[in-house]
Amino acid sequence: MNNRNFLRAVCALTLSIPFLVSEVSFAQEASPAPATPTVNKAELHQALLDLTNSYTVMCVAAHPDDEDGTTLTVLRRKHGVHTVSLFSTFGEGGQNAVGPELYEELGVIRTQETIKASQIQGSEPFFLGMKDFGFSKSADETFKVWGHDEALRRMVLRIRELRPDAIITNHDTTRGHGHHQATGQLIIEAFDAAADPKRFPEQLNQLKTWQTQRLFVRAFGSPTGPQPDRSSAADKILAVDPNEIDPVRGTSFAEQALVALQQHASQGPWPKSIEELLRMRRIETGKLPLIRYRLLREARGAPSLPADATTPFAGLEPSEVTEAVAANFGPPKIDGRPLTEFVDQPDRVLASLIDWRASQTLSDTVLEEVHRLRLREDRVNRALGIASGVSLTLTARRAALVPGVNTTFSISISNSGARGVQVDGLRFYGLGENLPVKAADNLLPDTETTVTVDRTTPKTATLTVPKEAHLYDELFLGIKLTAFAELEIDGARFTLNAPLNAEVAPAVEIKRISPSPYVWTPATLGRKWAFKLDLINHSETPFSGLAQISTGNNLVWIDEQIRLKPNEPSKVQLGFNDPFPSRELAADQRNAKLAEVAIIASGSRETITARRVPAVYVNARVKSRLRVGYIASFDETLKNSLAGLGVDAKELMVDNVKNADLSAYQTIIIDNRGYEAHPELVAANSRLLDFVNAGGTLIVFYHKDNEWNPDPKKNRPQLAPYPISLGGERVTVETAPIKFTQPRHPLLNFPNRIGPADFKNWVQERGLYYPKVWDSHYTTLFTTNDPGEAPLTGGLLVAQYGKGNYIYTSMVWYRQLRAGVPGAYRMFANMISHGHK
């Protein structure tokens, strides 16, 4: 196969898109490149290092932030390994330390955080898309939701696609979160199943089986105590030094990995520096311990792991085919030394790459191991692009593609190098098309050429918004468009790809409707329903039309005129009369469980987009004329819930707690993790306890043990009036039975009589970080537990303090209020009314 055919073969592999050639309109302009960028030495070094390593290492993790970012960083930045990470879930069941988003919206955020972290680690992330349904305690509980065989099928598929030589994971089969245990178990099974033609044979129509050579599981030692022993005959240990300084970037690999970890901001707070990390882990040596992995599985006949292994592929011998790859494509050298030693002389590097590339031949044997070839080819192209100073970009003139509307795309080839580049071909892939694009044939040094492509997004194109509705099909990341260039410099041919992920959205998008769900109660019956809409007009012209609300029985309740500027987010308020102004109508929701908000274009009366809002009528009463203050943490749950209950409520800032006259309130609520969200609240806490002492009711939602328990290092005293010490226990089964131990307690009887029905239809879990020890002043009201575990009694603690009342509750009321669970509204109404008969 000659060079040109070889290139075409590889290109066809890289972009296996059906070939549909059609006419393309283009405009072209040649202009001087904006500035001559100096070659980024770290980038060039990485590209050259990548040519020296043909291994792929996969890190398998249950959730975003469970990956071993340090080892991934070392493997790519020090060794040039192709590193991929594979996540079982998008992490949507977790908490959010920085914003209001939960569930699928959080999954979108955590995936984006993972993409940013991966860029720093130099790895590529992939997701199995299993549902993150929140904390679970066992692999069995996890598999009940995931389906064991489906999860295994997906993992085997990814292994067969990505073909890792070694797999590492932080998860074993027995410790921690059930998702971690399940992932630890799956990877052991998948290691064998991916190589077995009898397992998931339907995958073998497209793919081949794959035998990974080694599987490693993290051997966690104590930070300062004994470490897994590599001298023990039973354990084969791989050890990675995170403290090593990366000579190219001047920081340690651990520091780089910490910056990657910090990208998972929703799961923070993270240590700000390695020094802080060392302090937190009480390490006084100034060095992080070695990262150790135990060899758990190896392929039959795999060479044994050397005793001093520092990489997962240490001692692996290249297969016959890989040897052929190496023989044909062994990395270029200058005077027998690797090119990475010459990054200060980019001209010599480029000349060497050009000579080497022009002399490459390809034997048929090599095509057998086509995945290594494809990876190598990608890396050669990248090295030539960086060394030559030639780059390709694809941009769209609009932020979102709108079905039926034309978009102008720009493809630019910039030559900031010293040699001329010949453009042999340019193509645009996307929107179901593969178009040849005409560009300049030759690009002199220091010039740039830009061509534009006008395409109409098909009317039938699938929308990628709202993003949270497209978590599991991964369309929330946008549709993929690519510009592809075939180039030649002094006889060396190479290709460049410029990807663009584009959102596909309706002409007017409803970004958010608040509140959702809409909850109303006896106190708010007959009041106006009010919604806030966040809209964005994706057109290039102003939009004029109607916002319309209808209910499940198709009655339209409002037609509000709206005008939106092009490409600009806008907020619109809609209010309309309660469509169910009597108790009977409200309680009979058979036809009214949803309100639909639609945006209608003027003139055509065409519905541009519509979104639905659940509407829930709850028979929850509050003591009348209550004045409530609340300290919100991350979202508007408290605000919306109190509004639904018809309570006169005001959001308090920490300054208000410090300075305002708190006797204006009868009840104050601290949202979940409020002391973490507002660290200054700790110093103002005595004001809140004085408020209770004087007759107020203070309600504190759940906190994590390390955010709550007294800690002199953090100047944090006991925060409750009588001691409460939190542990890490949870009740994760949302249907776990509730046993009432004080059924006559006022909290369970006024104003609403609480019974077992109020704990029905809960979401995700019952509670977390349950109190472990508490003072005898507290009364407990009910117990609950996960199957097979001892009852936990401290889910809600209530005590009189002075003339007032203090309530600490580790149950997840906020998730239930947010989901519109009626019983949670009734119990919440009792909590805020408590002590105010």
Write out the residues near Zn ion by the rule CB under 5 A. 62-63, 66
Query: From the CB of 785, what's the least distance to Zn ion, in Å?
Result: 23
> How far, in Å, CA of 750 to CA of 744, rounded?
10
Q: Which long-range contacts (CB under 8 A, 24 or more apart) does 76-79 make?
A: 76/46, 76/121, 76/122, 76/123, 77/46, 77/122, 77/246, 77/248, 77/249, 77/253, 77/256, 78/244, 78/246, 78/253, 79/49, 79/53, 79/311
Quick one: 70 or 416, whose CB is closer to Zn ion? 70
Question: Residue 490 carries which side chain, given as an amino acid letter?
Answer: D
Quick one: 184 or 466, whose CB is closer to Zn ion? 184
Order of strands across the sheet that contains 82-89:
123-130, 82-89, 56-61, 166-169, 214-218, 291-298, 237-240
Contact yes or no for 309/315 (Cβ under 8 A): yes
Q: Write the CA distances from 514 to 197, 618, 723, 741, integer angstroms.
A: 52, 18, 38, 38
Both structure tokens of 735 = 């249907």
Quick one: 63 or 766, whose CB is closer to Zn ion? 63
Quick one: 171 or 716, whose CB is closer to Zn ion? 171
Quick one: 182 or 564, whose CB is closer to Zn ion? 182
Contact yes or no for 703/676 (Cβ under 8 A): yes
Quick one: 129 or 436, whose CB is closer to Zn ion? 129
Query: What's the sign of the alpha-carbon dihedral 675, 679, 681, 682?
Result: positive
Q: Which residue's C-beta sits nearest to Zn ion?
A: 63
DSSP-assigned beta bridge partners for residue 571: 534
Question: Residue 538 carries which side chain, given as an amino acid letter?
Answer: H
Query: From the CB of 62, what's the least distance to Zn ion, in Å?
Result: 5
Query: From the CB of 734, what's the least distance to Zn ion, in Å?
Result: 19
DSSP for 626-661 reads -EEEEE--SSSHHHHHHHHTT-EEEE--HHHHHHS-
Query: From the CB of 507, what's the least distance to Zn ion, in Å?
Result: 40
Quick one: 103 or 617, whose CB is closer to Zn ion? 103
> How far, in Å, CA of 565 to CA of 571, rounded?
11
Contact yes or no for 449/439 (Cβ under 8 A): yes
Question: Residue 149 carries which side chain, given as an amino acid letter?
Answer: D
* Backbone φ and ψ of 457, nearest 5°: -70, 125
Quick one: 169 or 256, whose CB is closer to Zn ion? 169
Query: From the CB of 714, what's the least distance to Zn ion, in Å?
Result: 25
The torsion region of residue 144 among left (phi > 0), alpha (psi -120 to 50) and beta comes to alpha
Contact yes or no for 180/67 (Cβ under 8 A): no
Quick one: 117 or 387, whose CB is closer to Zn ion? 117
> How far, in Å, CA of 266 to CA of 317, rounded?
42
Quick one: 181 or 416, whose CB is closer to Zn ion? 181
Query: From the CB of 496, what's the least distance to Zn ion, in Å?
Result: 37
Quick one: 180 or 836, whose CB is closer to Zn ion? 180
Order of strands across the sheet that contains 594-601:
518-520, 607-617, 594-601, 543-551, 556-564
Task: Please name which of 535, 612, 532, 545 lies closest in space to residue 573, comparing C-alpha atoms.
Answer: 532
> How far, in Å, CA of 180 to CA of 145, rounded?
14
Query: From the CB of 177, what's the least distance to Zn ion, in Å?
Result: 5
What is the C-alpha R_g of the chain? 31
> How far, in Å, CA of 249 to CA of 640, rounded?
49
> How far, in Å, CA of 606 to CA of 690, rounded?
59
Question: Residue 365 carries which side chain, given as an amino acid letter?
Answer: T
Quick one: 87 or 675, whose CB is closer to Zn ion? 87
> How far, in Å, CA of 612 to CA of 279, rounded?
49
Query: From the CB of 87, what's the least distance to Zn ion, in Å?
Result: 9
β-pair type (433-436, 421-430): antiparallel
Q: Write the CA distances from 809 to 556, 652, 696, 709, 799, integer angstroms.
A: 42, 20, 17, 15, 12
Quick one: 63 or 163, whose CB is closer to Zn ion? 63
Query: What's the sign of the alpha-carbon dihedral 541, 546, 551, 556?
Result: negative
Quick one: 118 or 685, whose CB is closer to Zn ion? 118
Q: What angle do CA 106, 112, 115 make, to 5 degrees?
A: 145
603: how many CB neighbours lie within 10 A of its CB?
8
Quick one: 261 or 652, whose CB is closer to Zn ion? 261
Quick one: 62 or 692, whose CB is closer to Zn ion? 62
Query: What's the sign of the alpha-carbon dihedral 551, 553, 557, 563?
Result: positive
Quick one: 62 or 261, whose CB is closer to Zn ion? 62
> How far, in Å, CA of 8 to CA of 199, rounded?
33
Query: From the CB of 712, what's the least distance to Zn ion, in Å?
Result: 30
Query: From the CB of 66, what's the least distance to Zn ion, in Å?
Result: 4
Which residues, including other chains, have CB under 8 Å from residue 614's CB and lie 6 or more apart? 516, 517, 518, 593, 594, 820
Query: From the CB of 185, what's the least distance to Zn ion, in Å?
Result: 15
Quick one: 86 or 689, whose CB is closer to Zn ion? 86
Question: Residue 123 carries which side chain, given as an amino acid letter?
Answer: S
